[in-house]
Amino acid sequence: MIVSKNDSEKCSLLKRERIIFEREERASNSFVTGTPNRFRRLKDVYYFKINSSIKEISKKKNIFITYSEKKSEMKDYIKATKLKLTKEKDLLKISAYYNSLFK
């Protein structure tokens, strides 16, 4: 899923939502309760699409490898604004700032 407003920019934010299906477990005896079928949502995974390459955002070190062209500017911006790499709105700000460096 594309999260960024404009996919034609140099950097776009992508999100992968993961949902799994868990089958029911019947009770083995009357003292244990069974669990019904259910869907369970796992943690979302975010990616940056820069030009045509897609890189997963997993650790802070990886994000600076992704932004190798403007590494020092990006590092200063993230540190100065105290952005978290786990929040979608912060990742959108990082993507928008990176795009503004090339305008």
Query: Within a domain: residue 6?
Result: no
Domain count, the chain: 1
The answer on pLDDT for 100 being more than 80 is: yes
Report helix angle 71-81 to 88-100, nearest 10. 140
The residue with greater pLDDT, 7 or 70, is: 70
Question: Is the four-CA dihedral 84, 89, 53, 18 of positive or negative sign?
Answer: positive
Q: pTM for this one?
A: 0.74
- DSSP bridge pairs for 16: 45
What domain range is 77 assigned to?
11-100
The answer on pLDDT for 85 being more than 70 is: yes
Query: Within a domain: residue 2?
Result: no
Q: What is the tens place of the pLDDT at every residue in 26-65?
A: 998 989 899 999 999 999 999 888 888 888 887 666 666 6
Counting beta carbons within 10 angstroms of the beta carbon of residue 86, is it exposed (0 to 12), middle (13 to 18) or buried (19 or more)? exposed
Query: Within a domain: residue 1?
Result: no
